[in-house]
Structure 1
């Protein structure tokens, strides 16, 4: 794997796409958390906010965050609006902690 040094190009542009097929026995590792599995299907900015929530919020606040996120995603609002709303929500909950 090559180290990414150029900031004007993404890794795929520099190194080419990863053409290797996934192993046939590719399955979640034992003990993997469900959130890690969901993160694979989550857009990168949303996954970043999820990681921030997991690392900064109490378990009760994290439950509130996940419920709020589910409601926002179910409404199928603009992604930018969802991201900004969830970012503010996590910041507010983490400050109360």
Structure 2
């Protein structure tokens, strides 16, 4: 059988830590504290920042339901109506940008 060392007592452990600590200067203790605190703080800040206002909110998508017996003419009429809505929205957006541009020109920007 192999030789296993005898486990040390808590007193021996405390004495060993004291002897180790007495050999260190205040600068080394400050560097140790900095080396432990800085990465810990960075990790904690990343965890906190990961939960603050960066996730998009839930997006609800509504699907229309049509009857199975729709004719091609009805489908085309719906598509034309949707296209007209899209074009109206685009024109309205363009008008908004034109009004904004006119306001900015008045301000000299």
When normalised by structure 2's length, the TM-score is: 0.23
Higher relative contact order (CA 8 A, sep 6+): 1
**Larger Rg: 1 or 2?**
2
Which of the two has greater helix per residue? Answer: 2
